[in-house]
Amino acid sequence: AELRRTHAHRLLPAPDAQVEHAPLRSARVFKSGLSCSPEPLEMFHTWAENPSSISKLPQATVESLLDSATALLAELPGPLLELRLPRRGEDPKLVLVGDTHGQLLDVLHILHLHGPPSDNTVYLFNGDIADRGPQAVEIWLLLLSFKLRAPGNIHILRGNHENRVMNERSVRMGGGFADECLAKYGQEVFD
């Protein structure tokens, strides 16, 4: 697949490329018996079509999603990540995304531009998802939901803002994730 560099953080398909999306894998069931609801594609499409519809998810859904994501991430082999460009589809691509800092609309735009994670569209989020922006929690929930559905098609690295000390700083000091998370979901979810 022919790729062109358009920004330091991402590779885009050639302008004439067709984007094809593979279906997501079946849902996992969480410890509490809940499945991840709403589905990541439902969240993505609802939020992208109407940003004013972005609202707090039910506490039980968030806690269950985090339980399942924690279990999945604990199964990963270690800190070294070996990625290859997908070989399926007409326009396979690896999309590199970095420094979203709570800007959910930017993440939704990138997902709209390239399509959701699939067998021919693999994402690597290169850290610094948290802090500064107002919707880092929603970005994390969306990315973890996609990770649970398509574990091999979305990868998330830890940046310097995925750090408790940094998160607990005020927004003015480059942090803010702790305040955002505590206001939306409380201490247990933040921990």
91, two tokens: 């326009």
Hunting for tokens 């506490």 — which residue is that? Answer: 59
Q: Is 161 a catalytic residue?
A: yes
Are 32 and 59 within 8 A, CB to CB?
no
97, two tokens: 């995304």
Q: Mind telling me the catalytic residues? A: 161
